[in-house]
Structure 1
Amino acid sequence: MVYTSRSARHGALLVGTFAVLGLLTACGNGKDVHTNPPITASGTAAPATGTTKSPEAGTSAPAATATGAVPAAPSKAAPSASGGGTATAAATTRCHTSQLRASVGRNDPGAGQENFPVVLTNTSGRTCTVHGYPGAAFVSASGSPLGPDPKRESGSPTTITLRPGQSAWAGLTFSNPGISGAKTATPAALLVTPPDERDALKVVWTGGAVPVSGNSSSVFLSVFSPGTAP
Structure 2
Amino acid sequence: MKKLMTVLAAVTAVLCSLPAASTAGQLDRLAASVSRCHTSELAVSLGRSGVGLGNVGVNVYLRNRSPNTCFVFGYVGFGLRDRHHRRQRSRVQWGNTYFQIDPRPHRVVLRSGARAVTNLAWTANPLPGEPQQGPCEPPSSWLEVTPPDERAYRLARFGMVVCGHGGLFSTALTTKRPRP
Q: TM-score, normalised by structure 2?
A: 0.70
1:211 to 163, 172, 177: 163
Q: TM-score, normalised by structure 1?
A: 0.56
Q: Could you tell me which residue of structure 1 aligns to residue 5 of structure 2?
A: none
Q: Do the aligned residues in 1 keep the contact of 2:122 with 2:164 (CA within 8 Å)?
A: no
Q: How does 1:101-120 map to 2 (within 5 A)?
A: 101-120=43-62
Q: Could you tell me which residue of structure 2 aligns to residue 7 of structure 1?
A: none
Task: Compute the displacement of 1:171 (Å).
Answer: 1.0
Q: Partner of 2:50: helix, strand, or coil?
A: coil
Q: Do the aligned residues in 2 keep the contact of 1:114 with 1:174 (CA within 8 Å)?
A: yes
CA, structure 1 residues 175+125, in 2 after alignment: closer, same or farther (shift >3 Å)?
same
CA, structure 1 residues 228+125, in 2 after alignment: closer, same or farther (shift >3 Å)?
farther
Q: Could you tell me which residue of structure 2 aligns to residue 226 of structure 1?
A: 175
Q: Could you tell me which residue of structure 1 aligns to residue 14 of structure 2?
A: none
Q: Partner of 1:210: helix, strand, or coil?
A: coil
Query: In proportion to residue count, which structure has more strand?
Result: 2
Q: Could you tell me which residue of structure 2 aligns to residue 17 of structure 1?
A: none
**Aligned structure 1 segments of 4 or more residues deviating by more than 6 angstroms:** none
> Per-residue CA shift, 1:146-202, capped at 9, x if unaligned?
122222125421111111111011111111136x57421211210100000110011
Q: How does 1:69-80 map to 2 (within 5 A)?
A: none
- Supply the distance in 2 between the matched residues of 1:153 and 1:228 (Cα, whole angstroms): 16
> Which amino acid is 1:219 matched to?
L
Q: Could you tell me which residue of structure 2 aligns to residue 195 of structure 1?
A: 148
Alignment root-mean-square deviation, CA: 2.5
Task: Compute the displacement of 1:111 (Å).
Answer: 2.5
Could you list the runs of 5+ residues in structure 1 that have no partner in the other structure? 1-84
CA, structure 1 residues 113+127, in 2 after alignment: closer, same or farther (shift >3 Å)?
same
**Structure with bigger RCO (C-alpha 8 Å, 6+ apart):** 2
- Higher alpha-carbon Rg: 1
Question: Which range moves more in the overlay, 136-145 or 152-161?
Answer: 152-161
Q: Could you tell me which residue of structure 2 aligns to residue 19 of structure 1?
A: none
Query: In proportion to residue count, which structure has more helix?
Result: 2
> Per-residue CA shift, 1:74-99, capped at 9, x if unaligned?
xxxxxxxxxxx522533x11100111
Q: Partner of 1:191: helix, strand, or coil?
A: strand
> Which amino acid is 2:93 matched to?
K
Q: Do the aligned residues in 1 keep the contact of 2:124 with 2:161 (CA within 8 Å)?
A: no
Could you list the runs of 5+ residues in structure 2 that have no partner in the other structure? 1-25, 97-101, 131-135
Q: How does 1:6-155 map to 2 (within 5 A)?
A: 85-86=26-27, 87=30, 89-90=32-33, 92-153=34-95, 155=102
Count of equivalent residues: 143
Over the matched positions of the two proteins, sequence identity in percent amounts to: 27
